A and B are shown apart, each in its own frame.
Chain A
Amino acid sequence: EADIYQTPRYLVIGTGKKITLECSQTMGHDKMYWYQQDPGMELHLIHYSYGVNSTEKGDLSSESTVSRIRTEHFPLTLESARPSHTSQYLCASSESLGREKLFFGSGTQLSVL
């Protein structure tokens, strides 16, 4: 059982609000990731981190930002949410370079009205 947690589980907000999606893992993993996923569709990598103070943009353009001040914590922030941001956001972590078995959180389902 992976020890990676995401909060909130569900979030409904209005357009223009600033939100932060939380992700924490207790496995000491260096690499962490954020994926965006629409129902039944593939996962799109939007941000990742190799370790503390390291953040990179993924393949899918995103208006969100991330930070990695502590190994265990990798929050994602949307400065001004829009309906196009409605989606599921999945956080993951992995322990090694190259052979990367990802451990996923349960996700945050975001709805922007």
Chain B
Amino acid sequence: GESVGLHLPTLSVQEGDNSIINCAYSNSASDYFIWYKQESGKGPQFIIDIRSNMDKRQGQRVTVLLNKTVKHLSLQIAATQPGDSAVYFCAENTGYSSASKIIFGSGTRLSIRP
């Protein structure tokens, strides 16, 4: 069935180090992927997206990598800061029509060690 699953429920990183959050998806028809950041008490916020015709996309301190061969997605955060503490969700869009829908994974909590 369709699912988007994260490999690790929690990740603890030293401040200043790079963080890597992984995500696996199972729907080979998915063609658009998004990472969201959700801070405590808030709704998810868009971080970065990538289309299936790309394998890498960079933003400010963040990079998303897409490996369609193994259906794997990762979010890399450079020089992790305390403000990066949050739960991170990957999400996939399963189509390009009015019937498309967004499927979210279960989330990875990122905590920063001082």
> Footprint of B on A, CB under 8 Å?
33, 35, 40-43, 45, 48, 50, 58-59, 90, 92, 97-107
Quick one: given A45-B101, A45-B102, are A40 and B42 in contact (CB under 8 Å)?
no
Bound Cα distance from A101 to B106, whole angstroms:
18
Does B102 lie within 8 Å of A50, measured CB to CB?
A: no
Q: List 9 A-B contacts (CB under 8 A).
A: A33-B102, A40-B87, A45-B102, A59-B101, A92-B43, A97-B100, A104-B44, A106-B42, A107-B43
Residues of chain B within 8 A (CB-CB) of A42 are 89, 104-107
Residues of chain B within 8 A (CB-CB) of A90 are 43-44
Residues of chain B within 8 A (CB-CB) of A41 are 106-107
B98 within 8 Å of A by Cβ?
Answer: yes
Can you add 16 more A-B contacts, CB < 8 Å, to A50-B98, A98-B96, A104-B44?
A40-B87, A40-B107, A40-B109, A48-B101, A58-B101, A97-B100, A98-B93, A98-B100, A99-B32, A99-B51, A99-B96, A102-B46, A103-B46, A105-B43, A106-B43, A107-B41
Does B43 lie within 8 Å of A104, measured CB to CB?
A: yes
Bound Cα distance from A83 to B109, whole angstroms:
27
Residues of chain B within 8 A (CB-CB) of A104 are 43-45
Partner of B46, one of A98, A101, A107: A101
Residues of chain A within 8 A (CB-CB) of B87 are 40
